[in-house]
A and B are shown apart, each in its own frame.
Chain A
Amino acid sequence: MKLGNYDMDKRLAGYAAIIVIGLAAPWLFPGYKAQMTELWLFIVFALAWDHTGGQMGYNSFGNVVFMGVGMYVCALTQVGLFYSIADYTAARGGGTIFIFDVPDFLLGLALGLPAAAIAAAVVAAVLGSAVLGMRGQYFAICTLGLGIAAGEIAAGWEWIGAGSGMTTPNPPDGLGDINRFLYFLSAALAVATFLTLRWIYTTRLALAINAVRDDEDKAEAMGLPTTRIKVMAWTVSAIFLGMAGGLYGNLKKFIDPVDIAFSGATVGVWMVLMAILGGKGTLWGPVIGAVIFQITKEFFWTYLLGWQRVALGLLIVVIVVFFPQGIMGWVRARYPERFGHRVEPAAGAKGEGARP
């Protein structure tokens, strides 16, 4: 894909605009910082899901496992550095009051987020070796089960608070506006995820991942170590999901094992939806999908209160029926030349011949 100077300039201008808007957003819409932080994290969720779901063709409904593991590990690190976790999570309260000052809080996050990434990656590598031998709907159902099982385990494990859940450390006053703090951390993570995946998609690994999607048997016959590739791809997703989970826990501030950490029915499905809405298997698709999804979701919650779940359900139906290839897929079918596909006049007249 070769770009002319003019296209390159336009692209750079586009990135610059996004960065400027992203930096200014907390001051432009001060009342919506929490929702915008959530949006950045949703972008990470969608991108990470698409890495295996879209690029590799392995539809996982269990990626919440990595998010939840990251959330717990980050919170446990943040607390465990300074207090006994069993006291902190005790249903009876610890008898003491748990206070975190600014250095405590920052150190907790600085160590908690990498720990979350590592833990999620380990879980992905172990689980992946076990379940990535399955294909198609078997894999999808199996991952669905993983999400539910993880929630049940967390809800029964007293050390981490069991069904009582766990609160993340109360941010100290000295930190200033905690929402703004988390907003920029989340934005940075989203940008880092985007750039990393953008780079990965230029490497041979991406070709191998796509080969698995397009014809796994053929890929294997050509000598690709498919299982290893699949585990590697899932682990990469898990790293980002784990860190995003750590931040998501601090954003929500209360980790309920089933409802927030291993929330297969909400975030677990949403990350799939966002990727599909934007366009599976494209770099920008998950980003666009997350933006549209979050805006619509908040819009429904504001103006259709009481019917928000119904509206969301209808949205899902509309997405699947009218945009089976997602927005990016739809745009690509219309304007194939913008995606570097050469279009022969006869074939391209109706926007066909641009199948990805």
Chain B
Amino acid sequence: MKYLLKSSLVAAAALAVAGTGALAQETVTLGAAVSLTGKYTTDGEHTKRGYDLAVDMINKAGGVKVGDKTYQIAVKYYDDESTPATGAALAERLIAQDGVKFLLGPYSSGLTKAIAPVTEKYGVPMVEANGASRSLFTSGYKYLFAVLSTSEQYLSSAMDLAAEKAAALGKKPEEIKVALAFENDPFSQDVRAGVLDDAKRLGMQIVIDDQLPKELNDMAATLTKVRALKPDVLVISGHAKGAATAVRQISEMKVDVPIVAMTHCDSADVVAKFGAAAEYTLCASQWASTLTYKDNLFGSAADFAKLFNTTYNYEPPYQAAESAAAVMVFADAFQRAGTLDPAKVRDALAATDMQTFYGNVKFDETGKNIAKPMVLFQVLKGEYRVVAPTKWAETEAVVPRPMMGN
């Protein structure tokens, strides 16, 4: 916090100097392979916009001061087509051919898993904002840093909520039946592992454990089972496309489940797309614009949301927020390292301890952020309202959700 303040003062001073002296500034280029086509297009776009907005703000504030030079930040993008093989090839290209020394993460754990070995091989630090699977952090990577909370935390509070509200459903927690539908990718499978652990801890029964199809556009088979077996909780995770499919088909098929929880509803923009059909859905989120975090670049979480909205004309999903935070973490590490030597920047990254509008960032030795909790939204009257954890809850969750009627 203190050095952030200091560095922004320095940056302001640098800006003043640049203004009078009209110095040609040098540029430090970050590389990024993001999904601009393929099944993760929506989230890939949020990621890119988050990066762009933060880069823009930092450059407008005068750039990054590294040692006695000031640098503008630029990002070199490639489209990874939402496939790991392409992502890894592009990371290789960014580093070996384009000479990029720092990478921002791609979208999704799968892509991050494919790219992390490449950055590790070349000793290129990567700050990623969209790879949450715990399986990313078991290879002893030294150059991988993740600003987000890991996957198992996504729906933990939704499961706790189900246990708390068991009485409202007329049941004991151990009588609660849970249905799962997850995409077969590293992120969703880790969310699933977390939910399975929660179910075990709370003594709930799993009655359905399905995989979403590869293209994520039809889950009617699972929903037919749900209708037959009548679970109390339906948990879904399949990135933005999975969330959109789930909300659409649950309402089309009029599947009544007291608690429906999923990931990625805000990035899928289910409220705008499906209106009333999205009502009462519980959504896991890394961030909310109502949280009380602050920094000197964007201001508060709400300020970031406002700026994002005026720039891109929609409310920022957390993917955009965490992506913006990744750029800030890099800028902060550059300043503290005082050099653009990748190994020194890596050490500076490892020592990161800062607050951004998105939350606190502090990495453990495996590179994951351990300083920031998840929040749980519920869609209530067309708005995402925080219902858990208690510290930030704006309102009480509505459980069970009203029946749609068959």
Given known A165-B84, A266-B85, contact A92–B190 (CB-CB < 8 A): yes
Q: Nearest A residue to B37 by beta-carbon distance?
A: A306
A230: CB under 8 A from chain B? no
Is B7 interfacial (CB 8 A cutoff)? no
Alpha-carbon separation in the docked complex, A34 to B138 (Å): 24
Min C-beta distance of B304 to chain A, whole Å: 31
CB distance from A143 to the nearest CB of B (A): 21
Closest residue of chain A to B86, judged by CB?
A259
Question: CA separation between A156 and B190, bound complex, in Å?
Answer: 15
Which chain A residue shows the least CB distance to B121?
A: A178
CB-contact partner of B96 in A34, A97, A301, under 8 A: A34
Contacting B at CB under 8 A, from A249-291, are 252-254, 256, 258-260, 263, 266
Task: Report if A260-B84 is in contact (Cβ < 8 Å); known contacts: A92-B193, A165-B110, A167-B117.
Answer: yes
Q: Nearest chain-B residue to A306 (Cβ)?
A: B79
Contact assessment for B84 and A259 in the assembled complex, using a CB-CB cutoff below 8 Å: yes
A124 on the interface (CB 8 Å rule)?
no
Residues from chain B with Cβ under 8 Å of A229 in the complex: none
A16: chain B residues at CB < 8 Å are: none
The residues of B that contact A259 with a CB separation of less than 8 Å are: 83-85
B78–A98 CB distance below 8 A: no
Q: Which residues of A contact B193 (CB under 8 A)?
A: 90-92
A223: CB under 8 A from chain B? no
Query: How many interface residues does chain A have, given as a range?
Result: 35 or more
| B 87-131 to A, binary, CB cutoff 8 A, 1 in contact else 0 | 011001100110000000000011001100110110000000000
Chain A 77-112: CB-based contact to B (< 8 A → 1; otherwise 0): 000000000001111111111110000000000000
**Contacts of A94 on B, CB cut-off 8 Å?**
138
Chain B's nearest CB lies how many Å from the CB of A13?
32
Q: Which residues of B contact A263 (CB under 8 A)?
A: 85
Q: Which of B89, B139, B190, B211 meets A170, CB within 8 Å?
A: B139
Cβ of B137 < 8 Å from any Cβ of A? yes
Q: Is residue A351 within 8 Å, beta carbon to beta carbon, of the partner chain? A: no
**Bound Cα distance A211, B140 (Å):** 54
Which residues on the B side are within 8 Å of A51 (C-beta)? none
- Which listed residue (B97, B114, B121) contacts A179, Cβ 8 A? B121
**B189, A163: Cβ atoms under 8 Å?**
yes
Interchain CB contact (< 8 A) of A167 among B78, B134, B139, B184: B139
In the complex, chain B residues whose CB is within 8 Å of the CB of A88: 138
| Contact flag A170-B135 (CB < 8 Å), given A164-B185, A254-B113 | no
- Interface size in chain B (residues, C-beta < 8 A): 42
- Residue B133 at the chain A interface, CB threshold 8 Å: yes
CB distance from A34 to the nearest CB of B (A): 5
Tell me if A260 and B85 are in contact (CB < 8 A): yes
* CB-based contact A90/B135 at 8 Å: yes
Partner of B134, one of A92, A170, A254: A92
Known contacts A179-B121, A256-B84: A33-B96 contact under CB 8 Å: yes
| B141 contacts the other chain (CB 8 A) | yes
Inter-chain contacts of B133 with A (CB < 8 A): 91, 93, 164
A32 at the interface (CB under 8 A from B): yes
Residue-wise interface mask of A (157-189) relative to B, using a CB-CB cutoff of 8 A (1 in contact, 0 not): 000001111011011000000110000000000
Q: Are B138 and A301 in contact (CB under 8 A)?
A: no
Interface membership of B192, Cβ < 8 A? yes
Taken residue by residue from 185 to 198, chain B's Cβ proximity to chain A (1 for < 8 Å, 0 otherwise) reads as: 11001101110010
Inside 8 A of B83's CB, which chain A residues have their CB? 256, 259
**A155 part of interface (Cβ distance < 8 Å):** yes
Considering the complex, give the chain B residue whose CB is closest to the CB of A168. B117
Min CB distance A100 to B, Å, is 9
CA distance A35 to B85 in the complex (A): 13
Q: Say yes or no: B184 contacts A155, CB within 8 Å.
A: yes
Contacts of A97 in B (CB 8 A): 137-140, 366
Residue ID in chain B nearest A158 by CB atoms: B189
Nearest-neighbour CB distance to chain A for B71, whole angstroms, equals 24
Asked if residues A256 and B135 are in contact (CB atoms below 8 Å), the reply is: no
Residue of B at shortest CB range from A89?
B135
B152 within 8 Å of A by Cβ?
Answer: yes
Residue of B nearest to A152 (CB): B214
Taking the complex as formed, is A31 at the interface, i.e. its CB lies under 8 A from any CB of chain B? Answer: yes
B340 CB → nearest A CB, Å: 19
Least CB distance, A287 to chain B, in whole angstroms = 22
* B83, B135, B140, B189 interface centre (most CB from chain A within 10 Å): B135
Q: Are B93 and A301 in contact (CB under 8 A)?
A: yes
CA distance A93 to B93 in the complex (A): 29
Interface contact B85-A252, CB-CB below 8 Å = yes
Complex contact B138–A93 (CB within 8 A): yes
Q: Let me know if A347 is at the binding interface, CB within 8 A.
A: no
B186 contacts A165, CB within 8 Å?
Answer: yes
Q: Does A3 interact with chain B (Cβ within 8 Å)?
A: no
B139 cross-chain contacts in A, Cβ below 8 A:
97-98, 167, 170
A321 in the interface (beta carbon within 8 A): no
Q: Tell me the nearest residue of chain B to A155, going by C-beta.
A: B184
Cα of A34 to Cα of B118 in the assembled complex, Å:
10
Chain B residue at smallest Cβ distance from A250 = B117
- Contacts A156-B184, A170-B140 known; 4 new A-B pairs at CB < 8 A: A35-B92, A91-B192, A164-B184, A302-B97
Measuring CB to CB, which residues of chain A are less than 8 angstroms from any residue of chain B? 31-35, 88-99, 155-156, 162-165, 167-168, 170-171, 178-179, 252-254, 256, 258-260, 263, 266, 301-302, 305-306
Shortest 3 CB-CB contacts between residues of A and residues of B = A163-B184, A253-B117, A93-B134
12 contacts across the A-B interface (CB closer than 8 A): A33-B96, A35-B92, A92-B197, A96-B138, A97-B137, A155-B184, A164-B135, A164-B184, A164-B190, A170-B117, A256-B110, A302-B93
